[in-house]
Each structure stands twice: as structure tokens, then as C-alpha cells.
Chain A
């Protein structure tokens, strides 16, 4: 019966003394060198040079995505600003009046590839981050509930998670988008539905361990409400694995969005994301007009790799088993 939470007697009416508030269990043993947890985190993170590089690359991508409307030479989503007569120009070509240079060329509709990639990154990151955060919150709540209450609730939730995970993510997303239709909001909904189960499973696994710790028993003995124990005591202690899974999942959400766009569902064609740009260029692959697919592909690759590298290093740093 090790899955059953221990029953605690009902608290009596006398208010618990403030000092009895359970201490944070993760409190560190006094170290010889005085170091705040954040400083230690930072120095451990910086042990991997490549992770540091990845972090700065990611910062640069984030900057580009946030300030795309300011730094892009053109608004690639404004049909009035692009001209089909400039279509499929090679990198470095100029318009015939010489006024504009397309450093990475143009796509088949005459969109400046630089601007299109900047805006595409914006969509990719926004979709990845938003769907990741929403799925994380949803998954965390569901996973915590399952772990904390156990019994039938847990069984029901976890079988639902198993069911969800047994279908390939791309298949589920394709079906959802076929029903929901096109648009950024729709694609976020689809990605949340595809991803929440990963978070729920991760959170439940760590919460099952934490649930048996003394501080939870103490909190229960004090008569704190279930929600308070869940959110104030359990959640902070399952955060590290959640952050790691979250980072990796955001990268896979970005890849999934690109795949869906490549397949021609997801986003409208006048607002191409990276996946759609790659798909458009695919038609021209055999003709030597490589840049329409190539540069968005590189941008996508760099984004996903840098996020994954950050996620890897976070896992090493935050994993207590690897702690020296």
C-alpha cells in the first residue's frame, strides 16, 4: 500500500504556530564556499561552453523574433509590399531599380527571405513557447492531481495519458487541425492537446516520490488544504524535471509546427512560417533555386538545436543525482 497517502488526524482548532510551517526540503547543506543557489546554478551551467554559446544564440534568435517588425526590411505578410515580379530572385539580387537588395533572395511570391525568416521565427517561437507554457500548466495540474489523490482518479488520468501518448503526435495534430481549421490560435490549441500528456507523466512520476517525504506528511498533519499542499509544497519540488522536459518539448513543438506547415495545414499561405517557406521552396529544389528552402531550414535547425542544447545542460545541472 505504498501508494496510499497516510491518513492524518483532523487538525484541532488551535492555530498552528508560524514556526511549524514546513521548511523547504531542498535546503542545502552549508557549503564551504558561500554561494547562493543561483550562483551555483550559473557556474554549473557555464561548465559547458557549447551550452553557453547555445544560450547566446537563442538570445539572438529571441531578439530577432521580438523585434522582427522593426528590423525587417519588409513586412512579408503585407500583400501590398511584395511583388510577384521580384519572385525567385537569387541571394544578393536587387530589384530592377536597384533600390532594394535581397540578401537571401526572394521566394516564389517575391517575399524578401530575410524578412520572411525573421517573421517566421517570431511565429515559431511564439507558437512553441505559448503552447509549451499552456501545456506545461495543464499537464502539471493534471499530473499533480493524479499523484496526490491516487486511486481511481490517478488510474483514470494516467490511462488517458497513455492513450494520448500511444498516438503519434503528428497524427493527433493533423486530425485536430482538420477539425479546427487554419490559424495561429488553432495550431496552439492542437499543440497543447498533443503535449500536455508528456508533462502530466513527468510531473506525476516526480510527485509520487515527493509525496512520501516527511514535509508532505507534516503539511498534512497541520491540516493544510489539498490545493495548498499541491501548489505550495509539491509543485516547487517537481519543478526542475518539469523545466527540463519543458525546454525539450518547446523545441519539439517548434518542429511539429514546422512539419504541419510543411504539410500545408496550420497557417495561412500569406503568412508563411518557416515550415511553409520550406514547403514552398521544395517545389524549386530540382531547379537549383535552393535558397527558398535552405535558409528557413537553417534558421529552424539553429533554433531547435540551441534550445535542445540549453535543455540538455539544464538537465545535467538540475538533476540531483548528478550533483557532485
Chain B
């Protein structure tokens, strides 16, 4: 008996040494664009950096804030937040974590050269002061309740890497030193990312010895890799395959609602909109009746049932009900094609007009199919629709600033917004507030919707520290903006992950849509 145990132990040691028993293989839809955690503020990048790095404050699966590298935080007066840092945390290279690393990180993060989308958005207008080795103050001019949420988006790097550290030093692994659950080993772009367990992690032993991440962009290939056992875990399970995978006893699916709303943004700043025809140079989208007609013409239930195969939730506002700052009073617009035709006629377009919808074809779940479905539905109430979809790399730069003088290029676009902060203020601030680059408002307001009343409520809410009062103000702003149809919400995205039963894994679905190894658990 003893001999068997010894043999078994030897086998385990041997297996461990050959790195096969404990290696988890992950098939990922989207590969990070860099290993530098402050290079590109993008979903796949942020999800991956959360494996290697940590922020002062972490978010759990439902985006509730949890202590990370900070053990506690509180406002000490109207304009100052105090963060108490965790003691005894070591970086992967063995160096000690303290306030200097925090200050160093917050200086570097907004200033990474050539960043396609900067983390400055979370750090603008804030200054940071080291009080002692484990106390940091964050100071703003006005009261700022979202400080903890903002700082949960910035992961801390070691100040040992030096001031002039470059993105390529992170990509090679030289500077990829964090405090997170896993250590960075190697990145072969387009092929694999390798990480291994950080045995000195402050929060207990991480679940897996080695993790091999493989980007598999093609939907059918990713599913096939899972079915064949080439990978143990995939994200972004295509809606078309969910039904089939449900019936497969080797596969465990886990899905959860996200904080992402898929919506239509309309040109509100041009009289003669470039992709609208047959209106004698008038912009019909400036007429509330036309916007209402478009919203009524869209059969959200049909999109959810037929395009999303039931895996989505019809939307009436910026975040699913239940999230902070949403309103109970706004509901998804019911499908009413007759009402839509009537409204169009009232607005002076009994024969409709011509319009093109633009959207990405590789960003959101079934994005190109949704755009076509919208095309069908609006054609049926008399708007002569064209549908154009393109890769996200082309779409987003054109949609934001592809027109003359860096204005948005299109008239009517399909886009999505995930509220990283988990409250309505994120979408209100970026999509609904009048564009004001200097103050950081309306950064993604590609329709240039502007309503002074809503602006006032948003600004007021952002400066209100009292949660109950802030929630009420946000709900009020949401109600006005939705009744005015500043955007037309379609549905909330539901994300699905799949694991192999044989591997004994289960994924805890995250509302922030991230695929991070910390949420992958052994059953």
C-alpha cells in the first residue's frame, strides 16, 4: 500500500514537472493587444492584466468592490479620499509593495506613448499624495464619489521597472511584474500566452499551476477546440452553438447578464446628415416623433429570440434594472409597427426616407446580424434602409472622428457600451452628456446628443457623495434621456462561457464580461 502511495506521489511530482496535469488551456475570443496593462484601455487587455496585476480595489463577479492592494478606503473630507494599503505584499520579483509603487503607477498610466485608448479617463483631475509607506491620499477639486470605482480600473505596477519603461519591455516579459495571482511567463502574439501560479500570493494559493491561453478568433473553431478537448475553457460561446452545447454532457455552460447595452446612436448635430437621403437636406432624427417611430418599429423580442437565440434581454435604458442608478419607470419600447408608421406620417415622412445603418462585425455578439435585422424592421415601416458593417478597427475610428473636422462620420450606428463602473453614471457621462473633451464628458457621444437639463443632473450626481441621493439623480437623468431617446437601447448582452466537465472547471460569469482566471474555479 505504502508503495502505491509512493508511486502515486512520484507520478504526481513527475506530472507536475512535465507541466501537464495542472495546466489549464483556455481558448480566448479576443487576444490582448499588449502585455502592458496601461497601454490600451480595452476589454481583453484589462481582463488579462487582472491575472498578473491588481488594483488597489478589486471588483467581484457582480462588480461589487472588494479590498485589493488597499485594505480600506474612505473620504476624509469633501475632496480627499484616504487609502490604507495592504502590508507584506510582494511583487513577482520579490520586491516589497508600498505607496511608492502606487504613486509611480498613477503617474505612468495616463502617459503611455501611442496608447490607442488611454487610462487617463480614470485619472484626469485627480492628484495623489503619499502620506506614509502604506497610506495614500487622492485629491480632487470637487467632491468625487466615484474615486474607488475609478481606481479599481488601474492596476499597480512595480516602481522598480523604472520611469522610462516601454510597452515592448512589458510584452517581452522583462517589465511584466505584478502582485497578482499569476506570473507572466511568455507571450507569442497570435499563438499563446503562458502564465504560472504565484505561490506567494497574499490571498491564498491560486487554483492552477500553469495556464496556457490561446486566442481562437473564429467562433466555430473555438467551439470545435473545446469539443475536441484541445482547450478546457472558452469564452464568448457563440449563441448559435449554445443549444447544442447544452445537450452535450461533457460541457458545462455558465452565462450571466452583462453591464453592456447594445444601442443605436443617431446623428443629432448636422442638419444635412450624410447617410440620410430623400429629406431635402433635413435631418429627420432631430424630430422626437421619428426617433420614437424607429424605436417602436424595432421588435426587440424578435431580435432576442431569433438573432440572439434567446440569450439577451430587451433593453429600455442604459444598464439592466437593478444596477445602481437605473430607473424602474423606463421600460423597453413595445413593438408597434402601425404606431411607427403613424408617427412617421405625422412628422412629415409618410413615405419614409433613406438611411444607412453602420456597425461593427466583430465586436459584439452577433453584431452584423443585429444590424441586418434592424434594417429589415425599419424597411418594413417605410424607411429605405441600407446596412453596412465592417471590422471594429475600421468602424470605431470612423464612427468617432471619420468625418470632416474629426466629426463622427455616420448618421445611424449600432454600438454597445459596457459600464465599467457598474453604475449608470458611466453611460450617462460618456454617451448622453454633451460632448466636452476638456472636462471628460461625452467621450463616446457619437450622436452629439445634448440636453442641458440632463447635463445638469449628471454633473450634480457626479459631485454627490451620498449614495441614495446620487442614485436618485442618476435615475432621473436616465428617465429624461430615455424619454427623449438620446439613444435607442436594443438589448443587454448576456455572455456565455463553457468549460469541459472532465477538467472539473466552472466559470463564475462576470457582469463586466471579463474572462479572467481568478473567476475560473474547480468544482
Contacts and interface: CB of A to CB of B under 8 A. Distances in A.
Interface of A: 78-80, 82-85, 87-88, 108-110, 182, 264, 268-270, 282-289
B243 A270 contact: no
B33 interface: no
Contact of B306 (A78, A80, A85, A285): A85
Contact of B376 (A79, A268, A286, A289): A79
Given A79-B372, A264-B391, 17 more contacts: A79-B379, A79-B380, A79-B387, A80-B376, A84-B373, A85-B306, A87-B306, A87-B307, A109-B372, A109-B373, A264-B361, A268-B387, A268-B388, A269-B371, A269-B387, A287-B243, A287-B244
B375 A283 contact: no
B362 to A, nearest CB: 9
Nearest to B386: A270
Interface residues of B, number: 31
7 contacts: A79-B376, A84-B307, A84-B373, A88-B306, A268-B387, A268-B388, A270-B372
A179 to B, nearest CB: 12
Contacts of A182: 388
Q: Is the interface of A mostly helix, strand, loop or mixed?
A: loop
B373 A285 contact: no
Nearest to A282: B220
A79 B354 CA distance: 13
A84 B220 contact: no
A270 B375 contact: yes
B361 A283 contact: no
Contact of A286 (B224, B307, B379): B224
B387 to A, nearest CB: 5
Nearest to B380: A80
B244 A288 contact: yes
Contact of A287 (B240, B372, B375): B240
Interface string B202-243: 000000000000000001100110010000000000101101
A234 to B, nearest CB: 46
B244 A82 contact: no
B498 to A, nearest CB: 12
B181 interface: no
Interface string B365-402: 00011011101110110000111110100000000000
A269 B224 contact: no
B216 to A, nearest CB: 14
A93 to B, nearest CB: 14
B302 interface: yes
Given A182-B388, A270-B372, A287-B240, A84 B219 contact: no
B220 A285 contact: yes
B303 interface: yes
Nearest to A288: B244
Nearest to B369: A108
Contacts of A264: 361, 391
B389 A269 contact: yes
Given A264-B361, A269-B372, A270-B372, A80 B387 contact: no
Contacts of B241: 286-287
B479 to A, nearest CB: 30
A174 B141 CA distance: 52
Contacts of B220: 282-283, 285-286
Nearest to B244: A287
Given A79-B379, A80-B380, A286 B303 contact: no
Contacts of B385: 79
Interface string B58-96: 000000000000000000000000000000000000000
A270 B387 contact: yes
Contacts of B307: 84, 87, 108
